[in-house]
């Protein structure tokens, strides 16, 4: 993963590398590859932010992995969605509500989003209740 992060900063745009790597990684038969693909998304969001990445084209695969047979992949998929929420904000809730997630999984995600919002760690660019926050909170 370190090599991909290095390539994102020096050789190609983060979006181009994610678009090339993620479809294969998130659909791979090896659970560890799927888990690392999800981790890459979370790290890329933290390093490059929502301005440099368009994650919406990968959301179906991420949401699908919240129901993966492997618990580590499921947990990482939820953590990845939470990392994306930190950058995107409340729009993420509306987007997830439109997807075919089981209500129990959607409730877990909304509870995690509430925890992040209450902790004050939302990013400056995230919308919170229709308002974009002014600074990175909690730092």
User: What is the tens place of the pLDDT at every residue in 53-72?
Assistant: 888 889 999 999 999 999 99
Q: How far apart are CA 126 and CA 133, in angstroms?
A: 6
Collapsing DSSP states into helix, strand and coil, what is residue 132? strand
- pLDDT of the residue at 120: 83
DSSP annotation of 58: G
Mean pLDDT over 106-127 rounds to 86
pLDDT band at 2 (very low <50, low <70, confident <90, very high): low
């Amino acid at each position: 993963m370190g090599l991909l992060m290095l390539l994102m900063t020096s050789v190609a745009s983060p979006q181009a590398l994610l678009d090339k790597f993620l479809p294969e990684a998130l659909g791979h038969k090896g659970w560890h590859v799927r888990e690392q693909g999800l981790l890459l998304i979370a790290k890329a969001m933290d390093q490059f932010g929502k301005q440099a990445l368009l994650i919406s084209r990968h959301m179906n695969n991420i949401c699908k992995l919240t129901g993966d047979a492997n618990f580590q992949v499921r947990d990482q998929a939820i953590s990845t969605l939470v990392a994306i929420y930190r950058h995107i904000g409340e729009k993420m809730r509306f987007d997830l509500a439109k997807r075919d997630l089981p209500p129990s999984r959607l409730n877990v995600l909304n509870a995690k989003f509430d925890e992040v919002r209450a902790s004050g760690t939302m990013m400056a660019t995230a919308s919170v209740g229709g308002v974009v926050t002014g600074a990175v909170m909690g730092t």
